[in-house]
Each structure stands twice: as C-alpha cells, then as structure tokens.
Amino acid sequence: MRHPLSSIHHRFIPLMFAAAALSLGSTPGFAGSPQVLGWVEEGLIFPEKVAVKFKLDTGALTSSMHAENIELFEKNGDDWVRFTLELQDIDTDEKIEKRLEREMVRDIKVRGAGGAEERPVVMMKVCLGNQMYEEQFSLNDRDKMNYPVLIGRRTLEKVGLVDSSKTFTVEPSCTESAQ
C-alpha cells in the first residue's frame, strides 16, 4: 500500500533539485565570497612596480621579501633599516636594484633547520590581483629560494583563499594611487 503523501513527495523532489541548482549558479549567493588564488601568483612590489613571483604560504605567519645588504640604523630616535631590493622582473626580464630605507616595525626571530635568526620587519606595498596591500614583511636574503616574495597568513587573511592545485590565476593590475 502506498502512503498518501508519497505521490506529493515525488513531485517536489525535482523542484527541490532545480531550486538548489539555480541557487548554486546565481551570483548573489557568492557575492561576499573571498577570492581564490593559486599557491603561486604574479605580484607587483611598489613603488618600483617590479613583477615577481609571490608564493602564498599558509605555513608562514609573517610575509617575507628578498633583501640584501641589510643595515640597521637610527633616524630621529627610531629604528630604521636600509636594504637593497634586488629582483628580476618576470615580465621584462629586467634586473631591478634599488636601495631603500624603511622604518622598522619590529623584528622577529625565525627558527629553521639552520638554527634561529632575527630579521627586521618593515611595511611594504604590494599588488596582488587588483588590490594594493601595505603589509609587514620580514627582510631576508632569499637568493637561494625559488620565490623572492612569500605571502604569510597575516596577509592572506585579507587577500583570500589559497587553492594549492592552482598557479597564476590573476594578473596584478594596481596603480600606486589605487590605495
């Protein structure tokens, strides 16, 4: 014997599936969703607008940037750091070398296989996708690393999600005035 509601139930199942499929494809449901980026993306370092590979690293807390000839000094009673930004632009293949000075935000102790070391942390502007970020970067000689810029979790929480199966999903498109 069939249950009296079973025929009604069978009529609503296709309607429920259709409604679910439509809601998945509609933009308003995903309007507030964060962007999803690959584990390696092209980014720009400002003010030089140097295009380099950024590794989006969920294992690192603080972002890191390649820097050479790092010197600590005092300016107006504050701790500052002078360093050489030496990078290869992946778009033009041009080597960019620029001596910069930034106020030191803090220093961090980084532990690795080779022991522990202290690194200065400064504020730097970078572009990822169409968004400019002014974030903290530890300075370190990353010459032996594949990626001159590492984006850590403190920055990633503002940027979006990382899909480890993807690379180069967005092109940087910021202007310095897009702050």
pLDDT of residue 7: 52
Q: Are 38 and 56 in contact (CB under 8 A)?
A: yes
**pLDDT band at residue 6, thresholds of 50, 70 and 90?**
low
pTM of the model: 0.75
Q: Which domain holds residue 140?
A: 36-167
Burial of 77 (C-beta count, 10 Å sphere; 0-12/13-18/19+): exposed
- Contact of 39 with 168, CB cutoff 8 Å: no
Res 13 pLDDT > 90? no
How many structural domains comprise the chain?
A: 1
Alpha-carbon distance of 39 to 56, in angstroms, equals 5
* Confidence check: pLDDT of 26 > 70: no
Which among 137, 173, 174 has a CA at the least distance from the CA of 55? 137
Burial of 96 (0-12, 13-18, 19+ CB in 10 A): middle
Question: Is 56 among the domain residues?
Answer: yes
Residue 152 to residue 56: CA distance in whole angstroms: 7
d(CA 15, CA 152): 45
Residue 178 lies in a domain: no
Identify the pLDDT of residue 81: 96
Q: What is the DSSP letter of 144?
A: T
Under 8 Å between Cβ of 42 and 130: no
Report the CATH number that the domain containing residue 40 is assigned in CATH.
2.40.70.10
Q: Is the pLDDT of residue 1 over 90?
A: no
pLDDT in tens, 80-104: 999 998 888 888 888 888 898 999 9
pLDDT band, residue 133 (cuts 50/70/90): very high
For residues 142, 87, 50, 130, the Cα torsion angle rounded to the nearest 10 degrees is -20
**11 domain-assigned:** no
CA dihedral 138, 47, 97, 54 (to 10 degrees): 50
Whether 175 is covered by a domain: the verdict is no
Residue at 129 is within a domain = yes
Q: Does 84 fall in a domain? A: yes
In a domain, residue 105? The reply is yes
pLDDT band at 31 (very low <50, low <70, confident <90, very high): low
The residue among 51 and 10 whose pLDDT is bigger is 51
114 within a domain of the structure (yes/no) = yes
Is the separation of the CB atoms in 39 and 159 below 8 Å? Answer: no
